[in-house]
Structure 1
């Protein structure tokens, strides 16, 4: 039996990587988890209770006076470097699934306005500059702009008000932009804002210009709809396709359903943390003896973008409660619950961007005794390779990654 659940807590970093200061010098001090715990104690006078994460070894990976120093469950624990430039959800998930994302094209929209506008006009749409700035207004209502929340030039967004446009139109515009965009990801975003979108356009880092999405109200007003359109990938060498091709059913939950976009998987998009974890638990209950489930808790990342430490803490507590349910369900030998992150998003760092941090790797193994310390993962691809090995799949069939654990009966050289 090998029911494998990879739960990505979006934006859960455990300390700055050596190159974290490259885009912003202050990011050398980034520590999403540590700052979150400190802020909670300062605000409430109490520790933030995270019993499931502590039992899984979070305090061993990130020593902190408010976390238990050692796990109490049979786990293997460690940290992972990101293995891709910048700090980006799409690149993080693709890397984790085995895609070689060590090189992504970084480009500001300003350098490609002509070709993007030409493609939009060829699709029958009007595309104009916004008051002479490097932002395109499509049909007088939808904005095409630099993403200000990721590292500069990694992603572009196509944003529109759902009151003015059906999301299908926003998505169609994004697909046209994707057809000519050199960047890793074009993100279609529809939502409800506190006013006209052009009033929330801001200058970003390194010459970027775009919508200040957190300030617009999209994240707090409800009804947010997002679709991630990634650069072309070799899907045959990613974990979901590899597992599905071997006969294991694959379920993608939450943001993972959007960013991984696997045709052979059951996709269950959702944003709310309770829904994401409930759907994940239901998928485990329905799973046969061998299955892969990849799930993403997105609201931690949204709280980081809003620089809202109390909200981040509340979401992390809800996540912890959901982990308790998953641990009870994944109790058979061979089952694996792998808890990790895709980047950092420090809510007190002073800006609304992702932060380039190490992430935890916490692997629950019901048949083990005690816990093992994992080697430092050089890339998130090692997490996917570890899951592949647990499923009995050849990790070498992935585009990238080396297992951190050998499966039961595996060869020597890495911890069991």
Structure 2
């Protein structure tokens, strides 16, 4: 094996974890509930083994899968993007990032206002990103005060109209916020630009940018880079890892662009890791409780997968997984604490049942073994299972 593709379907969970009740997520099941509400045609995912992970999925069954399949348990507490991705590369967190459902402390907001010179902020509460710009966007246009809000995740989000705060100015605000948020242990600061001229027309633009908390220790991407193994990030991968260990970053604005970029990169990648995040499942559909849109996005992925599989070759391996759930049928608009699917494909391997993995770090450990690295601290490689 010389080439590995990790394809992260952001927010695509496959059933509540045993501790989901501690997060208010008992009974969540992103894929099952979507399949119950909307008829989906997912022949390629089924062929790769998705229907074998959970027999309750209302999708066509494939009796002779060509991929290996299983599901993974998140060992770290939490259910956010950073925690899930970091665990994939070998980092286990002892405690979840803190959340601020009642708004951020006054001293943090005061520091943000003082250091940025914005005069005042709007919001400072937990809210849906699309709803808060409807609620406060017009006031923002009048006052030019940035909108600051959070969610059930550990995020300090800054929403500004692109005509009031051009992108670089918004990013500058977020860089200041990142430094201020570090003592509080907040996982991510996110720039949320939007446009439009009224509550009816406000819409988020695709130029979000994440500023993450410093990673606590070296991880898979660092080790690959140290050994001169190329690492390419597609989508928000580089942001998630604070730009550590990612040699080249290709930003994308949609799932379709992410998939097309992945296909082109796999065609030319001779050796290394291509790490892709497809954000639309989570950002466009999960958080907005858009079951129909979520289903159509899964079908869109399914239709593109054969083109990706053609690029894998006998020296390549494709791993499809997720970072957390985001069940659009579950009460609320936040992530859900779920198992994530594990689908693994290479023309060189026959289909295997990989079972229930105890941590997302099994992915990182497998990649480390493929490229001849020292074992990671966390995870169990499934390479030998694939080869058996």
Tell me whether the two structures share a fold, i.e. TM-score over 0.5.
yes
The match for 2:277 is 296
The match for 1:389 is 369
User: What runs of 5+ residues in structure 1 fail to find an aligned partner?
Assistant: 42-47, 197-214, 409-414
How far apart are residue 145 of structure 1 and its match? 2.1
CA contact (8 A) 1:144 1:156 kept: yes
How far apart are residue 55 of structure 1 and its match? 1.1
Distance 1:349 1:140, change over 3 A: same
Q: Structure 1: how far apart are the matches of 2:77 and 2:261?
A: 31
Moved over 3 A (4+): 129-140, 193-196, 215-219
How far apart are residue 227 of structure 1 and its match? 1.2
1:254 counterpart = 2:235 = yes
Where do residues 25-174 of structure 1 align in structure 2 (5 Å cutoff)?
27-41=25-39, 48-63=40-55, 64-73=57-66, 75-108=67-100, 110-121=103-114, 123-128=115-120, 130=122, 140-146=144-150, 148=151, 150-151=152-153, 154-174=154-174
Pick from 374, 378, 386: which aligns with 1:400? Answer: 378
How far apart are residue 374 of structure 1 and its match? 1.3
Please give the secondary structure, in 2, of the residue aligned with 1:180: helix
Pick from 333, 338, 353: which aligns with 2:319? Answer: 338
Deviations 1:102-122 (A, max 9, x none): 42331427453213422541x
How far apart are residue 133 of structure 1 and its match? 7.1
Where do residues 224-263 of structure 1 align in structure 2 (5 Å cutoff)?
224-234=206-216, 237-260=218-241, 261-262=243-244
Distance 1:393 1:217, change over 3 A: farther
The match for 1:322 is 304
CA contact (8 A) 1:240 1:265 kept: no
Q: Structure 2: how far apart are the matches of 1:35 and 1:102?
A: 31
1:190 counterpart = 2:182 = no
How far apart are residue 312 of structure 1 and its match? 0.7
Q: Structure 2: how far apart are the matches of 1:225 and 1:277?
A: 18
Number of paired residues?
369
The match for 2:132 is none
Pick from 276, 283, 286: which aligns with 2:265? Answer: 283
How far apart are residue 54 of structure 1 and its match? 0.8
1:9 counterpart = 2:9 = yes
CA contact (8 A) 2:42 2:59 kept: no
Q: Structure 2: how far apart are the matches of 1:218 and 1:325?
A: 32
1:266 counterpart = 2:244 = no
Pick from 346, 355, 365: which aligns with 2:336? Answer: 355
Distance 1:59 1:51, change over 3 A: same
Q: Structure 2: how far apart are the matches of 1:133 and 1:66?
A: 39
How far apart are residue 15 of structure 1 and its match? 0.6
CA contact (8 A) 2:188 2:211 kept: yes
How far apart are residue 131 of structure 1 and its match? 7.9
Please give the secondary structure, in 2, of the residue aligned with 1:385: helix
**RMSD, aligned α-carbons:** 2.7
How far apart are residue 319 of structure 1 and its match? 1.0
Q: Structure 1: how far apart are the matches of 2:147 and 2:164?
A: 12
Distance 1:132 1:318, change over 3 A: closer
